[in-house]
Structure formats: structure tokens, C-alpha cells
Amino acid sequence: MNFKFTNKKVVLILVLILLLFIGGVFLWRTREEPFKEWRSQYSPKEDYVVIETPDGKILKNEKMGLKVGIPDGWKLDERWEGGLVGNIILTSQDFERQPGNNPFKKGCLIEIGIADYGKYETVETETIKDFIEMCKAEPEQLKKDGYEYVKIDEYEALKTTTPNKPETERFISVRVLIDNKVYSFSTPLYSENKERCAQEFDEFLETVSINR
């Protein structure tokens, strides 16, 4: 047996294994870093503060330039766990939970969230852009499908409604896209007060101020 050849072969195999390991670590790191950025995209609850003013309470996220009015009698609901991580939940004074698939039966709820995608174009940002353009081109048809082009604090936004969904999936959402940041506001429409909730949501949207 040629031991020199065998030893050389073993060394080559070990070098190949080492290169594969290094390459694997490199690929893992390059995939891991964007994943970390994706995980950290949502503005955390700690960025929001409630401020008392002569005209009532406002919710402010100075880092993201967001300021909204809190409807009279409404409050931040720390116990609510139905939203995305980092999202803020406001509930009306008569908000009432109930067990089962329908999270609540009475009162109204507004969910607020901000996603910062940084330099990345995502499915969400592209979808918002595309639907806004389609709403501009065919407003009547898109409105029938539940999509509308609206303006929030002079910024273009996409409004989505789901009147034909099952009762526990009905909601109104408005998403504003600014520099790959998505400011989202939504309200479910499955409580017994859904007509009032829709009206209060519209009034709430008039208080939204985004300073970028």
C-alpha cells in the first residue's frame, strides 16, 4: 500500500471537510444577519408614550415620527395578546372579552404598528405600492374588491376592508408606506358595536400625524 498517497488523500479529505465547514458557517452567517434585521423590524412598545394634553391624551412614537389621538375614554390594553409583537392596542371603555374563537363581543379595538424594513423591499411594501397604483387606475372596481386609495396626514395609503369574510375575520386596515416603513392601523368588525367601531376608527385616522 502506498502510505504517502493514502496520507495525502486523508489530508485532502480533511481540507475539503474544513472548507465545507467554513463555507457552511459563512452561508449561515449571511442568512442569519438579514434574519436578525427582519426580526428587529417592528417598533417595540417601549418606543410609545402616552402624553396628557389640554385636548386629551395622545400616543407618541418619537423615533418613528408618529403621533395619534387616543379617543375619549379609551386606554392602552396591556393584557391584549391578539396583535403582532410590538403592536399597540387601544380599547374602548366598554370593551369586553369573551372566551372562544371570537376574541371579544362588545366594544371596539384599534391596533397600531410600525414595521421598518430598512433597505429591503418586501412583499408587503411592494403589495402596498401595487395596490395603490391599481386603486388609482380602477377605483370603482378595486373598491368592490375591498381596496381603496386614501390619504393619511397627506401621505398615500391603502385601505382594506373585508365585508365578505367570515364574521370573525372582518376588519378595516389602513397602511401608510414611507421610505420602506409601514405604518399600520386596523380595527376588527366582529363585535356587536361594529358600525360604531368603523365610525370611531375613521375619526381616529383624522388624528394621525406622521413627521418624517
Co-location of 2 and 106 in the same domain: no
Q: Could you tell me the residue range of the domain that residue 30 belongs to?
A: 1-40
Separation between Cα atoms, residue 9 and residue 131, nearest integer Å: 60
Co-location of 50 and 146 in the same domain: yes
pLDDT tens sequence across 12-47: 455 445 544 444 443 334 344 444 444 447 888 889
Co-location of 126 and 32 in the same domain: no
pLDDT at 87 over 50: yes
Separation between Cα atoms, residue 190 and residue 135, nearest integer Å: 26
Provide the 10 A C-beta neighbour count for residue 92.
Answer: 22
Co-location of 64 and 26 in the same domain: no
pLDDT for the residue 136 = 95
Co-location of 149 and 192 in the same domain: yes
Co-location of 31 and 135 in the same domain: no
What does pTM read for this prediction? 0.76
Co-location of 13 and 63 in the same domain: no
Q: CATH number for the domain including 68?
A: 3.40.1000
- Separation of first and last alpha carbons in the chain: 75
Domain count of the fold of the chain: 2
Co-location of 10 and 59 in the same domain: no
Separation between Cα atoms, residue 209 and residue 206, nearest integer Å: 8
> What's the whole-number average pLDDT of the chain?
79
